[in-house]
Structure 1
Amino acid sequence: MSAPTPATYVFKKVDGVEIKADVYLPSSASALPAPILVWFHGGGLLQGSRRTPAPHMKRAVDKYGLALVSLDYRLAPQAALPTILEDVRDGIKWTREELPGLLGEGKVDPSRLAVSGSSAGGYICLLSGLPISGVSPPPKVLLPIYPITDSLGPFFVTPQRPVKYSEDGYIYTDEDMKVHRDPNSQLLSETFAVRTPGVPLPRDHRQNFYTYMVQEGNLSQLLFAKAPGVDPADYAVAKLVQKDMPPTYIVHGDADQHVGLEQAHEVVNAMIKAGTVFEFEQPAGEPHGYDGREEVDMEKMYDFLLKYL
Protein backbone atom coordinates (compact mmCIF):
# COMPACT_ATOMS: atom_id res chain seq x y z
CA MET A 1 0.00 0.00 0.00
CA SER A 2 1.63 3.25 -1.12
CA ALA A 3 1.72 6.18 1.28
CA PRO A 4 -0.54 9.13 0.42
CA THR A 5 0.98 12.47 -0.54
CA PRO A 6 0.21 15.27 1.89
CA ALA A 7 -1.01 18.79 1.17
CA THR A 8 0.84 21.44 3.16
CA TYR A 9 -0.84 24.45 4.78
CA VAL A 10 0.31 27.31 6.97
CA PHE A 11 -2.04 27.23 9.94
CA LYS A 12 -0.40 30.06 11.87
CA LYS A 13 2.18 32.80 11.47
CA VAL A 14 3.78 34.40 14.50
CA ASP A 15 6.86 36.60 14.87
CA GLY A 16 7.52 36.11 11.16
CA VAL A 17 7.60 32.31 11.50
CA GLU A 18 5.22 30.15 9.49
CA ILE A 19 3.91 27.10 11.34
CA LYS A 20 2.76 24.37 8.97
CA ALA A 21 0.47 21.37 8.77
CA ASP A 22 0.70 18.36 6.46
CA VAL A 23 -2.69 16.82 5.68
CA TYR A 24 -3.09 13.27 4.36
CA LEU A 25 -6.53 12.16 3.12
CA PRO A 26 -7.83 8.67 2.32
CA SER A 27 -7.80 7.86 -1.40
CA SER A 28 -11.23 6.21 -1.29
CA ALA A 29 -14.31 8.45 -1.35
CA SER A 30 -16.14 5.80 0.65
CA ALA A 31 -13.98 6.66 3.69
CA LEU A 32 -15.23 10.25 3.71
CA PRO A 33 -15.97 12.21 5.79
CA ALA A 34 -12.88 10.88 7.55
CA PRO A 35 -12.27 11.16 11.30
CA ILE A 36 -9.13 13.14 12.06
CA LEU A 37 -5.90 11.97 13.69
CA VAL A 38 -3.64 14.87 14.66
CA TRP A 39 0.01 13.90 15.17
CA PHE A 40 2.88 15.80 16.82
CA HIS A 41 6.53 14.95 16.11
CA GLY A 42 9.20 14.20 18.67
CA GLY A 43 12.63 15.68 19.32
CA GLY A 44 12.37 16.85 22.92
CA LEU A 45 10.42 19.94 21.75
CA LEU A 46 13.90 21.06 20.68
CA GLN A 47 14.07 19.73 17.11
CA GLY A 48 12.08 17.74 14.57
CA SER A 49 9.47 18.20 11.87
CA ARG A 50 5.88 17.41 10.89
CA ARG A 51 7.39 15.62 7.87
CA THR A 52 8.29 12.48 9.82
CA PRO A 53 5.18 10.40 10.66
CA ALA A 54 6.01 6.70 10.96
CA PRO A 55 5.15 4.38 8.05
CA HIS A 56 2.30 2.76 10.00
CA MET A 57 0.69 6.15 10.52
CA LYS A 58 0.82 7.01 6.82
CA ARG A 59 -0.60 3.58 5.98
CA ALA A 60 -3.39 4.12 8.51
CA VAL A 61 -4.82 6.85 6.29
CA ASP A 62 -6.13 4.31 3.78
CA LYS A 63 -6.09 1.23 6.02
CA TYR A 64 -8.44 2.78 8.57
CA GLY A 65 -9.94 5.67 6.60
CA LEU A 66 -8.33 8.44 8.67
CA ALA A 67 -7.36 11.99 7.82
CA LEU A 68 -3.85 12.46 9.23
CA VAL A 69 -2.93 16.02 10.20
CA SER A 70 0.73 16.43 11.17
CA LEU A 71 1.38 19.75 12.91
CA ASP A 72 4.58 21.67 13.54
CA TYR A 73 5.04 23.93 16.57
CA ARG A 74 7.59 26.46 17.77
CA LEU A 75 10.67 24.87 19.32
CA ALA A 76 12.39 25.35 22.67
CA PRO A 77 14.37 27.02 24.12
CA GLN A 78 13.47 29.90 21.80
CA ALA A 79 9.84 29.19 22.75
CA ALA A 80 8.77 27.97 26.18
CA LEU A 81 6.46 25.03 26.75
CA PRO A 82 3.45 27.28 27.52
CA THR A 83 4.04 28.99 24.16
CA ILE A 84 4.35 25.64 22.40
CA LEU A 85 0.98 24.69 23.87
CA GLU A 86 -0.48 27.80 22.26
CA ASP A 87 0.53 26.31 18.91
CA VAL A 88 -0.97 22.98 19.89
CA ARG A 89 -4.24 24.68 20.82
CA ASP A 90 -4.26 26.84 17.69
CA GLY A 91 -3.34 23.92 15.44
CA ILE A 92 -6.16 21.75 16.74
CA LYS A 93 -8.59 24.67 16.52
CA TRP A 94 -7.51 25.30 12.90
CA THR A 95 -7.94 21.60 12.11
CA ARG A 96 -11.47 21.65 13.47
CA GLU A 97 -12.64 25.02 12.19
CA GLU A 98 -10.63 25.99 9.11
CA LEU A 99 -9.42 22.78 7.50
CA PRO A 100 -12.88 21.38 6.60
CA GLY A 101 -13.60 24.48 4.49
CA LEU A 102 -10.18 24.34 2.83
CA LEU A 103 -10.65 20.71 1.85
CA GLY A 104 -14.25 21.00 0.70
CA GLU A 105 -17.51 19.77 2.12
CA GLY A 106 -17.70 16.22 3.36
CA LYS A 107 -13.96 15.42 3.38
CA VAL A 108 -13.35 15.32 7.15
CA ASP A 109 -15.44 14.99 10.31
CA PRO A 110 -14.02 17.47 12.84
CA SER A 111 -16.34 16.14 15.55
CA ARG A 112 -14.28 12.93 15.56
CA LEU A 113 -10.75 14.08 16.35
CA ALA A 114 -8.00 12.15 18.13
CA VAL A 115 -4.44 13.20 18.94
CA SER A 116 -1.23 11.19 18.81
CA GLY A 117 2.42 12.05 19.17
CA SER A 118 5.81 10.40 19.44
CA SER A 119 8.29 11.06 22.25
CA ALA A 120 8.02 14.81 22.96
CA GLY A 121 5.02 14.76 20.65
CA GLY A 122 3.54 12.18 23.02
CA TYR A 123 4.03 14.70 25.82
CA ILE A 124 1.99 17.40 24.10
CA CYS A 125 -0.49 14.74 22.99
CA LEU A 126 -1.15 13.93 26.67
CA LEU A 127 -1.30 17.60 27.62
CA SER A 128 -3.79 18.26 24.80
CA GLY A 129 -6.30 16.10 26.65
CA LEU A 130 -5.92 18.03 29.92
CA PRO A 131 -7.20 21.49 30.92
CA ILE A 132 -3.67 22.94 31.10
CA SER A 133 -3.51 22.89 27.27
CA GLY A 134 -6.62 24.99 26.73
CA VAL A 135 -7.76 22.59 23.98
CA SER A 136 -11.56 22.67 24.03
CA PRO A 137 -13.32 20.39 23.57
CA PRO A 138 -10.59 17.86 24.34
CA PRO A 139 -9.73 15.21 21.75
CA LYS A 140 -11.84 12.05 21.69
CA VAL A 141 -8.80 9.78 22.11
CA LEU A 142 -5.10 10.18 23.01
CA LEU A 143 -2.38 7.94 21.55
CA PRO A 144 1.00 8.87 23.10
CA ILE A 145 3.89 6.80 21.75
CA TYR A 146 6.94 6.39 24.07
CA PRO A 147 6.08 9.79 25.57
CA ILE A 148 8.07 12.25 27.60
CA THR A 149 5.83 13.05 30.57
CA ASP A 150 7.93 15.02 33.07
CA SER A 151 10.96 17.20 32.37
CA LEU A 152 12.00 16.80 36.03
CA GLY A 153 11.91 12.99 35.94
CA PRO A 154 15.10 11.04 36.75
CA PHE A 155 15.97 10.41 33.10
CA PHE A 156 15.94 14.12 32.24
CA VAL A 157 17.85 15.45 35.26
CA THR A 158 20.64 12.85 35.29
CA PRO A 159 23.53 13.79 32.96
CA GLN A 160 24.92 11.00 30.76
CA ARG A 161 28.56 11.34 29.73
CA PRO A 162 28.60 9.77 27.22
CA VAL A 163 24.97 9.32 26.29
CA LYS A 164 24.10 5.61 26.44
CA TYR A 165 22.78 5.42 22.90
CA SER A 166 25.72 7.35 21.42
CA GLU A 167 27.44 5.45 18.63
CA ASP A 168 30.86 7.03 19.13
CA GLY A 169 30.77 8.34 22.71
CA TYR A 170 31.29 11.95 21.64
CA ILE A 171 30.73 14.56 24.35
CA TYR A 172 29.02 17.62 22.89
CA THR A 173 30.46 20.94 24.03
CA ASP A 174 28.57 24.07 24.95
CA GLU A 175 30.26 25.65 21.94
CA ASP A 176 28.82 22.97 19.64
CA MET A 177 25.30 23.89 20.77
CA LYS A 178 25.93 27.59 21.41
CA VAL A 179 23.38 28.88 18.91
CA HIS A 180 20.73 26.27 19.64
CA ARG A 181 20.78 26.63 23.43
CA ASP A 182 20.57 30.43 23.32
CA PRO A 183 16.92 31.34 24.06
CA ASN A 184 17.35 34.50 22.01
CA SER A 185 18.50 32.74 18.84
CA GLN A 186 16.29 32.58 15.77
CA LEU A 187 12.85 31.13 16.46
CA LEU A 188 12.19 27.87 14.58
CA SER A 189 9.03 25.87 13.89
CA GLU A 190 10.80 22.78 12.54
CA THR A 191 14.23 21.30 11.91
CA PHE A 192 14.79 18.63 9.30
CA ALA A 193 17.81 16.87 7.89
CA VAL A 194 18.15 14.30 5.14
CA ARG A 195 20.65 11.82 6.53
CA THR A 196 23.14 9.91 4.39
CA PRO A 197 23.77 6.42 5.80
CA GLY A 198 27.15 6.26 7.42
CA VAL A 199 27.72 10.01 7.24
CA PRO A 200 27.25 11.78 10.59
CA LEU A 201 25.75 15.25 10.77
CA PRO A 202 28.10 18.09 11.74
CA ARG A 203 28.59 18.25 15.51
CA ASP A 204 26.86 21.63 15.71
CA HIS A 205 23.76 20.53 13.76
CA ARG A 206 20.39 21.20 15.43
CA GLN A 207 19.49 17.53 15.02
CA ASN A 208 22.11 16.73 17.68
CA PHE A 209 20.43 19.01 20.22
CA TYR A 210 18.35 16.29 21.87
CA THR A 211 21.45 14.18 22.50
CA TYR A 212 23.18 17.21 24.01
CA MET A 213 20.17 17.72 26.30
CA VAL A 214 20.28 14.09 27.47
CA GLN A 215 24.02 14.45 28.03
CA GLU A 216 23.52 17.55 30.19
CA GLY A 217 20.27 16.51 31.91
CA ASN A 218 18.80 19.95 31.35
CA LEU A 219 15.44 19.48 29.59
CA SER A 220 13.45 21.55 32.08
CA GLN A 221 15.87 24.49 31.79
CA LEU A 222 15.51 24.45 28.00
CA LEU A 223 11.71 24.08 27.97
CA PHE A 224 11.17 26.95 30.40
CA ALA A 225 14.08 29.28 29.57
CA LYS A 226 11.63 31.84 28.13
CA ALA A 227 9.15 31.36 31.00
CA PRO A 228 11.27 31.95 34.12
CA GLY A 229 8.27 32.32 36.45
CA VAL A 230 6.76 28.97 35.52
CA ASP A 231 7.32 25.85 37.64
CA PRO A 232 8.17 22.87 35.38
CA ALA A 233 6.55 20.57 37.97
CA ASP A 234 3.18 22.06 37.03
CA TYR A 235 3.53 20.38 33.61
CA ALA A 236 4.22 16.86 34.90
CA VAL A 237 1.48 14.75 33.33
CA ALA A 238 1.09 12.35 36.27
CA LYS A 239 0.08 15.27 38.52
CA LEU A 240 -2.52 16.42 35.98
CA VAL A 241 -4.19 13.08 35.22
CA GLN A 242 -7.91 12.99 35.91
CA LYS A 243 -10.65 10.42 35.60
CA ASP A 244 -12.56 12.19 32.82
CA MET A 245 -9.59 12.74 30.50
CA PRO A 246 -9.96 11.17 27.04
CA PRO A 247 -9.43 7.41 26.63
CA THR A 248 -5.68 6.97 26.33
CA TYR A 249 -3.45 4.31 24.76
CA ILE A 250 0.19 4.51 25.85
CA VAL A 251 2.90 2.42 24.23
CA HIS A 252 6.54 2.44 25.40
CA GLY A 253 9.15 -0.22 24.60
CA ASP A 254 11.19 -1.55 27.52
CA ALA A 255 14.53 -1.10 25.71
CA ASP A 256 14.09 2.64 25.19
CA GLN A 257 17.32 4.58 25.85
CA HIS A 258 16.07 7.95 24.59
CA VAL A 259 13.18 8.40 27.05
CA GLY A 260 13.16 6.66 30.41
CA LEU A 261 10.44 4.01 30.75
CA GLU A 262 9.57 5.42 34.17
CA GLN A 263 8.09 8.41 32.34
CA ALA A 264 5.24 6.23 31.06
CA HIS A 265 4.97 4.21 34.27
CA GLU A 266 4.36 7.32 36.39
CA VAL A 267 1.43 8.31 34.20
CA VAL A 268 0.03 4.79 34.05
CA ASN A 269 0.11 4.56 37.85
CA ALA A 270 -1.67 7.92 38.09
CA MET A 271 -4.30 6.72 35.61
CA ILE A 272 -4.90 3.57 37.64
CA LYS A 273 -5.47 5.66 40.78
CA ALA A 274 -7.72 8.13 38.95
CA GLY A 275 -9.79 5.47 37.21
CA THR A 276 -8.97 6.82 33.75
CA VAL A 277 -9.95 4.78 30.69
CA PHE A 278 -6.61 3.62 29.27
CA GLU A 279 -4.49 0.77 27.96
CA PHE A 280 -0.74 0.40 28.29
CA GLU A 281 1.47 -1.62 25.97
CA GLN A 282 5.13 -2.28 26.80
CA PRO A 283 6.70 -4.13 23.86
CA ALA A 284 9.60 -6.29 25.03
CA GLY A 285 13.01 -5.47 23.62
CA GLU A 286 11.81 -2.50 21.59
CA PRO A 287 13.89 0.71 21.50
CA HIS A 288 12.88 4.32 21.00
CA GLY A 289 11.50 4.89 17.53
CA TYR A 290 10.86 1.20 16.94
CA ASP A 291 7.58 1.94 15.22
CA GLY A 292 9.53 3.63 12.44
CA ARG A 293 10.30 0.20 11.01
CA GLU A 294 8.23 -0.64 7.93
CA GLU A 295 6.91 -3.90 9.36
CA VAL A 296 5.47 -2.39 12.55
CA ASP A 297 1.69 -1.89 12.29
CA MET A 298 0.63 -0.83 15.81
CA GLU A 299 -2.66 -2.63 15.25
CA LYS A 300 -3.63 -2.72 18.94
CA MET A 301 -3.28 1.04 19.12
CA TYR A 302 -5.50 1.58 16.08
CA ASP A 303 -8.06 -0.89 17.43
CA PHE A 304 -8.24 1.23 20.58
CA LEU A 305 -8.53 4.40 18.49
CA LEU A 306 -11.43 3.09 16.45
CA LYS A 307 -13.19 1.75 19.55
CA TYR A 308 -13.41 5.20 21.12
CA LEU A 309 -13.32 7.54 18.10
Structure 2
Amino acid sequence: MDTPVIPCPTPFIDHIAGQALGIDLPLRIWPAVKKDGEIGRELGKRPWVFWIHGGAFMYGKHYVPNAWVIPAFRSLSYHVVSVSYRFVPQVTHDDIVSDILTAYTWCRNNLEAVLGKGNVALDSFVSAGDSAGAHLALWCGNHLSPPPKAIVDIYGLTSLDDPFYSLSIPDLPLPILGNSSTEELDKALENRDPKNAVITSAFTLELEPYTSVENLNIA
Protein backbone atom coordinates (compact mmCIF):
# COMPACT_ATOMS: atom_id res chain seq x y z
CA MET A 1 0.00 0.00 0.00
CA ASP A 2 1.36 3.42 -0.93
CA THR A 3 2.08 5.87 1.86
CA PRO A 4 1.08 9.46 1.02
CA VAL A 5 3.98 11.90 0.97
CA ILE A 6 3.35 15.47 2.10
CA PRO A 7 5.16 17.97 -0.16
CA CYS A 8 7.67 20.36 1.33
CA PRO A 9 6.00 23.63 2.46
CA THR A 10 6.83 26.72 0.40
CA PRO A 11 8.32 29.22 0.02
CA PHE A 12 11.76 28.46 1.39
CA ILE A 13 15.37 29.55 0.90
CA ASP A 14 18.34 27.19 0.60
CA HIS A 15 21.88 28.01 1.70
CA ILE A 16 25.14 26.22 2.48
CA ALA A 17 26.26 26.77 6.08
CA GLY A 18 29.79 25.50 5.45
CA GLN A 19 31.81 22.46 4.51
CA ALA A 20 33.36 19.54 6.38
CA LEU A 21 36.10 17.67 4.51
CA GLY A 22 34.62 18.90 1.25
CA ILE A 23 31.05 17.89 2.14
CA ASP A 24 28.47 20.70 1.92
CA LEU A 25 26.30 21.30 4.98
CA PRO A 26 23.07 22.79 3.60
CA LEU A 27 20.19 24.34 5.50
CA ARG A 28 16.70 25.43 4.51
CA ILE A 29 14.93 28.54 5.79
CA TRP A 30 11.17 29.14 5.91
CA PRO A 31 10.53 32.87 6.54
CA ALA A 32 7.88 33.80 9.09
CA VAL A 33 4.38 34.51 7.81
CA LYS A 34 1.43 36.46 9.16
CA LYS A 35 -1.31 34.67 11.03
CA ASP A 36 -3.29 34.37 7.80
CA GLY A 37 -0.31 32.76 6.05
CA GLU A 38 0.69 35.83 4.06
CA ILE A 39 4.40 36.67 3.83
CA GLY A 40 5.23 40.23 4.77
CA ARG A 41 8.17 42.41 5.71
CA GLU A 42 6.16 44.29 8.31
CA LEU A 43 6.04 41.48 10.86
CA GLY A 44 8.74 43.07 13.01
CA LYS A 45 11.54 41.16 14.68
CA ARG A 46 10.28 37.61 14.92
CA PRO A 47 11.80 34.65 16.80
CA TRP A 48 13.27 31.72 14.91
CA VAL A 49 13.46 27.97 15.32
CA PHE A 50 16.72 26.04 14.92
CA TRP A 51 15.28 22.67 13.81
CA ILE A 52 17.41 19.48 13.81
CA HIS A 53 15.91 16.38 12.19
CA GLY A 54 16.06 12.90 13.67
CA GLY A 55 17.11 9.57 12.22
CA ALA A 56 19.29 7.74 14.76
CA PHE A 57 22.27 9.87 13.62
CA MET A 58 22.42 7.82 10.41
CA TYR A 59 19.55 8.91 8.16
CA GLY A 60 16.91 11.60 7.64
CA LYS A 61 16.81 14.84 5.71
CA HIS A 62 16.74 18.51 6.58
CA TYR A 63 14.84 19.70 3.52
CA VAL A 64 11.47 18.12 4.44
CA PRO A 65 10.97 18.33 8.23
CA ASN A 66 8.23 16.35 9.96
CA ALA A 67 4.87 17.35 8.50
CA TRP A 68 3.76 19.39 11.53
CA VAL A 69 6.97 21.40 12.05
CA ILE A 70 6.59 24.23 9.54
CA PRO A 71 2.80 24.74 9.97
CA ALA A 72 3.10 24.72 13.77
CA PHE A 73 5.89 27.24 14.13
CA ARG A 74 4.81 29.45 11.26
CA SER A 75 1.34 29.68 12.83
CA LEU A 76 3.18 31.61 15.56
CA SER A 77 4.92 33.77 12.95
CA TYR A 78 8.31 32.18 13.68
CA HIS A 79 11.05 31.75 11.12
CA VAL A 80 12.22 28.13 10.80
CA VAL A 81 15.75 27.03 9.93
CA SER A 82 16.20 23.30 9.31
CA VAL A 83 19.84 22.19 9.36
CA SER A 84 21.81 19.19 8.15
CA TYR A 85 24.67 17.15 9.59
CA ARG A 86 26.85 14.23 8.56
CA PHE A 87 25.81 10.70 9.49
CA VAL A 88 27.50 7.77 11.22
CA PRO A 89 29.38 5.48 10.73
CA GLN A 90 31.69 7.77 8.76
CA VAL A 91 31.75 10.45 11.46
CA THR A 92 31.64 10.59 15.25
CA HIS A 93 29.22 12.26 17.62
CA ASP A 94 31.75 15.08 18.04
CA ASP A 95 31.79 15.57 14.25
CA ILE A 96 28.00 15.81 14.20
CA VAL A 97 28.05 18.36 17.00
CA SER A 98 30.64 20.34 15.03
CA ASP A 99 28.27 20.40 12.04
CA ILE A 100 25.44 21.70 14.23
CA LEU A 101 27.73 24.42 15.57
CA THR A 102 28.69 25.33 11.99
CA ALA A 103 25.01 25.75 11.10
CA TYR A 104 24.30 27.82 14.21
CA THR A 105 27.29 30.09 13.57
CA TRP A 106 26.09 30.61 9.99
CA CYS A 107 22.66 31.61 11.31
CA ARG A 108 24.15 34.10 13.73
CA ASN A 109 26.21 35.67 10.94
CA ASN A 110 23.70 35.57 8.08
CA LEU A 111 20.05 35.37 9.15
CA GLU A 112 19.64 39.12 9.31
CA ALA A 113 21.02 39.48 5.79
CA VAL A 114 18.71 36.76 4.46
CA LEU A 115 15.52 37.72 6.31
CA GLY A 116 16.09 41.43 6.84
CA LYS A 117 17.59 43.03 9.94
CA GLY A 118 14.23 44.32 11.10
CA ASN A 119 12.54 40.94 10.65
CA VAL A 120 14.45 38.55 12.92
CA ALA A 121 15.11 38.65 16.66
CA LEU A 122 18.51 37.00 16.50
CA ASP A 123 18.79 36.24 20.22
CA SER A 124 15.23 34.92 20.51
CA PHE A 125 15.43 31.40 19.17
CA VAL A 126 14.25 27.91 20.01
CA SER A 127 16.38 24.79 19.52
CA ALA A 128 14.13 21.91 18.54
CA GLY A 129 14.28 18.45 17.06
CA ASP A 130 13.00 14.90 17.15
CA SER A 131 14.81 11.72 18.21
CA ALA A 132 18.51 12.18 17.42
CA GLY A 133 17.72 15.79 16.53
CA ALA A 134 16.13 16.30 19.95
CA HIS A 135 19.32 15.00 21.56
CA LEU A 136 21.26 17.59 19.57
CA ALA A 137 18.71 20.28 20.48
CA LEU A 138 19.41 19.51 24.14
CA TRP A 139 23.13 19.85 23.43
CA CYS A 140 22.39 23.28 21.98
CA GLY A 141 20.68 24.28 25.19
CA ASN A 142 23.83 23.53 27.16
CA HIS A 143 26.51 24.78 24.78
CA LEU A 144 25.32 27.57 22.47
CA SER A 145 25.94 31.20 23.26
CA PRO A 146 23.58 32.88 23.69
CA PRO A 147 21.50 29.87 24.72
CA PRO A 148 18.07 29.20 23.23
CA LYS A 149 15.05 30.69 24.95
CA ALA A 150 13.40 27.26 24.89
CA ILE A 151 14.13 23.67 23.87
CA VAL A 152 11.59 21.45 22.12
CA ASP A 153 12.57 17.81 22.72
CA ILE A 154 10.47 15.36 20.71
CA TYR A 155 11.26 11.84 22.07
CA GLY A 156 14.98 12.56 22.18
CA LEU A 157 17.48 10.23 23.79
CA THR A 158 19.04 11.64 26.93
CA SER A 159 21.26 8.78 28.07
CA LEU A 160 22.97 6.10 26.01
CA ASP A 161 23.03 4.00 29.21
CA ASP A 162 19.32 3.37 28.73
CA PRO A 163 18.83 -0.40 28.16
CA PHE A 164 16.69 0.40 25.12
CA TYR A 165 19.87 1.16 23.17
CA SER A 166 21.70 -2.04 24.07
CA LEU A 167 19.11 -4.80 24.48
CA SER A 168 17.66 -6.65 21.52
CA ILE A 169 13.92 -6.40 21.04
CA PRO A 170 13.04 -9.43 18.86
CA ASP A 171 9.30 -8.77 18.71
CA LEU A 172 9.57 -5.11 17.72
CA PRO A 173 7.51 -4.86 14.47
CA LEU A 174 9.94 -2.76 12.44
CA PRO A 175 10.31 -3.32 8.68
CA ILE A 176 13.59 -4.84 7.55
CA LEU A 177 15.38 -2.69 4.99
CA GLY A 178 16.18 -4.46 1.73
CA ASN A 179 17.60 -7.92 1.19
CA SER A 180 21.24 -7.22 1.99
CA SER A 181 23.32 -10.14 3.16
CA THR A 182 25.28 -10.08 6.39
CA GLU A 183 28.46 -9.81 4.33
CA GLU A 184 27.15 -6.77 2.46
CA LEU A 185 26.11 -5.07 5.69
CA ASP A 186 29.48 -5.79 7.32
CA LYS A 187 31.27 -4.31 4.31
CA ALA A 188 29.12 -1.18 4.45
CA LEU A 189 29.83 -0.75 8.16
CA GLU A 190 33.57 -0.96 7.50
CA ASN A 191 33.34 2.23 5.44
CA ARG A 192 34.48 4.74 8.09
CA ASP A 193 36.17 7.29 5.82
CA PRO A 194 34.77 10.74 6.82
CA LYS A 195 35.09 11.87 3.20
CA ASN A 196 32.33 9.36 2.34
CA ALA A 197 29.83 10.71 4.86
CA VAL A 198 26.34 11.60 3.64
CA ILE A 199 23.93 14.25 4.93
CA THR A 200 20.61 12.93 3.57
CA SER A 201 19.14 9.43 3.52
CA ALA A 202 15.62 8.05 3.24
CA PHE A 203 13.74 6.43 6.09
CA THR A 204 12.77 2.79 5.59
CA LEU A 205 9.08 3.63 5.12
CA GLU A 206 10.02 6.07 2.34
CA LEU A 207 11.45 3.25 0.23
CA GLU A 208 9.78 0.61 -1.89
CA PRO A 209 7.80 -1.51 -1.19
CA TYR A 210 6.46 0.74 1.58
CA THR A 211 5.89 3.65 -0.78
CA SER A 212 6.35 4.31 -4.50
CA VAL A 213 8.68 6.44 -6.57
CA GLU A 214 5.60 8.29 -7.85
CA ASN A 215 4.63 9.26 -4.31
CA LEU A 216 8.14 10.42 -3.48
CA ASN A 217 8.30 12.54 -6.63
CA ILE A 218 5.43 14.63 -5.25
CA ALA A 219 7.85 16.12 -2.71
TM-score by length of 2: 0.78
Letter of the structure 1 residue corresponding to residue 183 of structure 2: E
Counterpart-to-counterpart distance in 1, 2:97 and 2:53 = 14
For 1:181 and 1:42, locate their aligned partners in 2 and report how far apart those are by CA, in whole Å. 23
- Residue 180 (structure 1) shift: 4.7
* Residue 199 (structure 1) shift: 4.0
- 1:291 is aligned to none
Residue 215 of structure 2 corresponds to which residue in structure 1? Answer: none
Distance 1:169 1:117, change over 3 A: closer
User: d(CA) in 2 for partners of 1:49 and 1:109?
Assistant: 26
Count of equivalent residues: 196
Q: Which has the higher contact order (CA 8 A, sep 6+)?
A: 2
Is 1:38 the counterpart of 2:50 in the alignment? yes
1:71 equivalent in alignment to 2:83: yes
Aligned match for 1:94, one of 99, 106, 124: 106
2:192 aligned partner, one-letter code? P
1 CA distance for matches of 2:40 and 2:86? 34
Instruction: Give the secondary structure class of the aligned counterpart of 2:68.
Output: helix
1:195 aligned onto 2:206: yes
- What do you get for the CA RMSD once the two structures are aligned? 2.7
- Note the alpha carbon deviations across 1:179-237, whole angstroms, 9 max, x for none: 25532271112224793674479xxxxxxxxxxxxxxxxxxxxxxxxxxxxxxxxxxxx
Aligned to 1:269: none
Task: Report the residue type matching 1:190 in the other structure.
Answer: T
Are positions 1:150 and 2:159 aligned together?
A: yes
Partner of 2:133: 121
- The answer as to whether partners of 2:17 and 2:25 remain within 8 angstroms in 1 is yes
Structure 1 distance, partners of 2:96, 2:207, is 30
Indicate conservation of the 8 Å contact 1:45/1:76, yes or no. Answer: yes
Residues 137 and 173 of structure 1, relative CA distance in 2, 3 Å threshold: farther
Partner of 1:15: 21
Partner of 1:307: none
Contact 2:74–2:80 under 8 Å retained in 1: no
Unaligned 5+ segments in structure 1 are: 202-309
1:25 corresponding residue in structure 2: 31
Secondary structure at the aligned position of 1:69 is classed as strand
Task: Please point out which of 154, 175, 185 is paired with 2:183.
Answer: 175
Aligned pairs for 1:180-259 within 5 A: 180=189, 182-184=191-193, 186-192=196-202, 195=206, 198-199=209-210
Residue matched to 2:36: none
User: Quick one: structure 1 residues 108 and 182, their matched pair in 2 at CA, closer, same or farther if it must change by over 3 Å?
Assistant: same
Superposed displacement of residue 18, structure 1: 0.2
Aligned to 1:56, which of 39, 44, 68?
68
Q: Which runs of 5+ in 2 are unaligned?
A: 1-7, 33-38, 213-219
In structure 2, relative to structure 1, the CA distance for the partners of 1:170 and 1:49 (3 Å cut) is closer
**Residue identity matched to 2:72:** A
Deviation at 1:165, TM superposition (A): 2.6
Separation in 1 of the partners of 2:179 and 2:9? 38
Tell me which amino acid in the other structure corresponds to 1:117. G
Matched residue, 1:166:
174
